[in-house]
Structure 1
Amino acid sequence: MARVRAAVVAAALVAALAPVTFGGAAAVAAPATTAAVGTTAETGTVVQEGGRLTVPAGEEGAVTLRFTASLPAGVRGPVTAVLRLPDVLVASAGGSPVSENVIRSTCKVNGVAYGACLWDMPFVRAGEEKDPPSLALPTVTAAGTLAYAVTMDADRTALVLGHPDARVELKDGTGAVVAEGTVLLDFVPGTPPPSRRGALHARDKYGVLWRYEGTGDVTRPFATRKRVGGGWNAYTAVTPLRSPTAAGGGDLVARDKAGVLWYYGETGNPAAPFAPRQRVGGGWNVYTAIVGDGEGGLVARDRDGVLWEYVRNDFGYYGYSWPFAPRQRVGGGWNTYNAFTKSGGYDGILSRDKDGVLWKYVRQGCSPCAPFEPRLRVGGGWNVYTAFAGTAELGRDENPDLVARDAAGKLWLYQGVPLLTPGSHWGTAVPGPTRSLVGGGWNAYDLMF
């Protein structure tokens, strides 16, 4: 059987062709009038157990769809079956494949295991005509009732399938339909993979760095902390260049007390997320703030309030030469801000001014041009916090998030929300208007990133 085809980031659902209706009174399904040889004119039923099945699209693992087909008397030969979703999948131009196994399924019939049963997931492009996604069920010997147990282990891409009312159809050896019915499915956001979940790092007063990996559940956003290592009190500033993830992704730079900047590459190993440090260079004590710029480089503010940009030089991250291009002047007036953090996504920085207003600076994404678009006001009241840090996704909505610590040591989570107003900031995300309590005791840390 063919492998499940690659899913597409930009995939979307469109309605399948409407069922055929007839003029006059409302149409109903017509009874079969001609029976194939060895079969009956009757059509059996398919009944789902337990109502709609919720299928998490994430790391939760498989759930089981159960339904029973009742066949009419007289059915002969092997029985084939297929489960069809109602809608075709449309792939937009430029979409890139992200998974070969959108849904992984195994099948049992009347308690007998048949191993993997494979999905056909055709994605339709302009001018093409293809069938909706379908699952071929095992071919079995005819019986009065056939009880099916189909596991469904869906990845994040399966969210595009939505909430389908799927059709199950059984045929006998002649190809005549002998039973049919509907099963109801709900594909909902599940736990993102570790590479899509954020991680938060915090340094205690002894210089020990601790790691909190995101769980994907905002009701308990962090797993139990893990010790990264000691000696981090040697640094007066630490900032991620690319957002830390639960999979061990994300690199950073750290400035020591002598003004030397050091680079820590990512390892992809959550147990030891940072590679041995490499010296970038000295003289970084001229800056009063250093923050990742959202694209792997950084920006730094000097004592006069001038912001400078250091564009990432990718050659430097493979052991060659200087890791940043020569600095470029962004502009003055940045002393109005008393705190900065990298946005948890890849689109800029967040800055708090002296009045407690939080502002978002979105990356321009063009060259040559100024690094940021005009600032965007997030909201006031942020002076109640003694520290805050942008993170990658801590929930399941694919938006970057932010955590903030108040004077009492309580840590609060602000889930990111997308900006839906068309314009220059289209597609970015900012901390949402509501917060949820993570927990207390975070005054034990003097640095969070």
Structure 2
Amino acid sequence: MPLPADTVDAAEIVHVFGSGDVVRGILHWGRRRLGVAGAVGALLATGVAGAGAHAAEGGAGTVALTTPGLAVGGQVVHTVTVEAPESGVLTVGFATADDQRPWGQQDEWTHGVTISGPDGVAQPCTYPSYEVLTGQVRCELPAGTHTLTYRVRATGPSWHLVADARFASASGTADASATGRFDVTGGAVVPMDWDVLARDGSGAVRAYSHYSGEWGRFDIEWGRPLGVDWGRYDRLAKLAPIDVRGRGGDVVARDASGVLWYHRLAGTGRTAFETPVRVGSGWGAYRSIRGAGDVTGDGRHDLLAVDGSGVLWLYRGTGDPARPFEARRQAGTGWGVYTSLTGGLDVTGDRRADLIARDSAGALWLYRGTGDGDAPLRSRARIGTGWNVYDTLVPYGDVTADGNPELLARDPSGVLWMYRGTGDASVPFEARVQVARYWDGFDAVL
């Protein structure tokens, strides 16, 4: 429960270790009052559970955690109760919940979450204060029952957070842990972040995101390695945008012999891939292979391919990693006029994956998705001209928290541009914004 504004900082809480003397602790309190921990809010002193603490007689340790949420501009008290059969160290760390992007370098001074301890009182704990991104509460505890409380204050965005409390016993036989989620409400919405995969000339692939890097978006110095043997492929395509939690479209890759390989996302909490699965041979017949997102409306990601005659083929996703695609179906003719296909985005806001095609004159065309596997695309509508200034178009996720995905474009000089989605089929993108430089060193961006 959040503290009332006129609360006098809980100065009557006393800390007594393990089987310590309660009276002595009270006398010590009588000589010293707990102080207010400045502008960042005080962390309440550790205290006695009930009338006093006592040493446990062996057995397993336990940790209980209570984590109420709070509004921006407010503060709240969390409670950790530890049953410690022996001495050990309690730590409480903090991270964003799985439905939001992890904290990054650019959040270091803007996250607005503080965890701190009382002024002028000796405690067995250290506190992360404003370094909550990487720091943690750390308390060295003797055997016994301990109830600790700490105060959280929030001044920034509406984060969804998780507190992770862990007790590491001295012998390692009485370890325990607990987690608790708490939300910050009333602030700016925090968008998900998304990965762009880029391969350099050595065949190494790295993941870059909008919020990565210490100095700016898509900083090429902050790529996360995903493998070094991707140079054996002459075509790479992701089936749909991939968020930084490693969810979204898997990747397909064609080798020089025409064999297609399926790289499934590993589901490890960030972008990583399982061992590739061989899809089949004969894929050298296609001039273009592109992920389509779910154009059939069955919840599975599909694949599109254009052959040398300009015929468009649809490979429906199966959801089975051992056999990821059904046999091909013809989806159209005359597609040889296009130099680029970009799929996997719902740019019209109707919850159906659309397809964007660029012709040799630089005109950009939108094919709205139908969700019907027999006729997955509507007739085309022109949505722009002059797009032949770019050598790569990349489908990207929603990084503005407005529900509309974005489109990335790289020009030959290596400048990366972002077109923010509008959700309007007639004008699906806003004017471009430069988001990065020096991307000309990559031979594949997806």
Please report the TM-score for the alignment, with normalisation by the length of structure 2.
Answer: 0.55
Contact 2:265 2:274 in 1 (8 A): yes
Q: String of CA shifts for 1:415-443, please: whole Å, max 9, x gaps.
A: 1111177xxxxxxx93x231111222111
Decide which moves more: 226-235 or 339-348: 339-348
Q: Report the counterpart of residue 436 of structure 1 in structure 2.
A: 433
CA separation of 1:337 and 1:106: change in aligned 2, threshold 3 A: closer
Distance 1:231 1:364, change over 3 A: same
Residue 327 of structure 2 corresponds to which residue in structure 1? 326
SS at match of 1:416: coil
1:357-416 deviation digits (Å, cap 9, x = unpaired): 11222221134x311122232211101111121111233323211111112211111111
* Structure 2 residue 246 is matched with structure 1 residue 245: no
Distance 1:153 1:438 in 2: 24
For residue 24 of structure 2, what is the aligned residue in structure 1?
A: none
Separation in structure 2 between the aligned mates of residue 414 and residue 115 of structure 1, nearest angstrom: 42
Residue 442 (structure 2) aligns with: 445
Q: Which residue of 2 aligns with 1:301?
A: 306
> In the alignment, which residue of structure 1 is the partner of 2:398?
393
In structure 2, give the amino acid aligned to 1:326: A
Of all paired residues, the percent bearing the same amino acid is 30
Equivalent-residue separation in structure 2 for 1:156 and 1:341 (angstroms) = 32
Alignment of structure 1 residues 11-26 onto 2, 5 Å? none
Which whole-Å CA distance do the structure 2 matches of 1:212 and 1:150 have between them?
A: 31
Give the distance between the partners of 1:445 and 1:270, measured in 2 at CA.
26
One-letter identity of the residue aligned with 1:260: V
How much does 1:273 deviate?
Answer: 1.1
Query: Is residue 347 of structure 2 the alignment partner of residue 348 of structure 1?
Result: no
CA contact (8 A) 1:343 1:350 kept: no
1:266 lines up with 2:265 in the alignment: yes
Match of 2:193 in 1: 197
| Pair 1:312 & 2:317 matched | yes
Q: CA deviation at 1:107?
A: 12
SS at match of 1:274: coil
Deviations 1:259-297 (A, max 9, x none): 101001111336661111011110101110011122111
Partner of residue 210, structure 2: 214
Query: Structure 1's 279 and 153: CA in aligned 2 closer, same or farther, altered over 3 A?
Result: same
Question: Which of 216, 226, 229 matches 2:227?
Answer: 229
Alignment counterpart, residue 385 of structure 2, candidates 380, 386, 396? 380
Kindly tell me: are residues 363 and 446 of structure 1, through their superposed partners in 2, closer, same or farther at Cα, counting changes over 3 Å?
A: same
Report if the CA contact (8 A) 2:408-2:418 is conserved: yes
Report the AA paired with residue 436 of structure 1.
V
CA contact (8 A) 2:253 2:260 kept: yes
Give the counterpart letter for 2:353 in structure 1: D
Q: Counterpart amino acid of 1:435?
A: R
More strand by share: 1
CA spacing shift, 1:188–1:398, aligned 2, 3 Å: farther
Alignment CA distance shift 1:156-1:115 (3 Å) = closer
**Secondary structure, aligned partner of 1:199:** strand
| CA shift in 2, pair 1:273/1:186, >3 Å | closer
Match of 1:104 in 2: 69
CA distance in 1 between partners of 2:231 and 2:269 (Å)? 21
Residues 277/188 of structure 1: CA separation in 2 closer, same or farther (3 Å cut): same
- Please state how far the C-alpha of 1:155 moved relative to its aligned partner: 5.0
Offset, 1:253? 0.7
The gaps in structure 2 that reach 5 residues or longer are: 7-38, 42-67, 80-150, 161-183, 295-300, 347-351
Change (3 A) 1:156 1:299: farther
| Letter matched to residue 397 of structure 1 | D
Alpha-carbon shift at residue 197 of structure 1 (Å): 2.1
CA distance in 2, matches of 1:149, 1:228: 36
1:360 counterpart residue number: 366
Amino acid at match of 2:332: G
Pair 156,419 (structure 1): closer, same or farther in 2 beyond 3 Å: farther
- 1:131 is matched with none
Name the structure 2 match of 1:275.
Answer: 274
Q: Deviations over 1:15-44 (max 9, x none)?
A: xxxxxxxxxxxxxxxxxxxxxxxxxxxxxx
Aligned positions, number: 280
User: TM-score under structure 1 normalisation?
Assistant: 0.55
Distance in 1, matches of 2:196 and 2:388, equals 21
Q: How does 1:137-216 map to 2 (within 5 A)?
A: 151=154, 187-192=186-191, 196-215=192-211
Do the aligned partners of 2:244 and 2:270 also contact (CA within 8 Å) in 1? Answer: no
2: CA distance, partners of 1:283 / 1:416: 36
SS at match of 1:418: coil
Check conservation: 2:72, 2:157, Cα contact below 8 A: no
Q: Any unmatched runs of 5+ in structure 1?
A: 2-45, 48-63, 67-102, 117-147, 158-184, 422-428
Whether the aligned pair in 1 keeps the contact of 2:418 and 2:435 (CA below 8 Å) is: yes
RMSD of equivalent CA atoms: 3.8
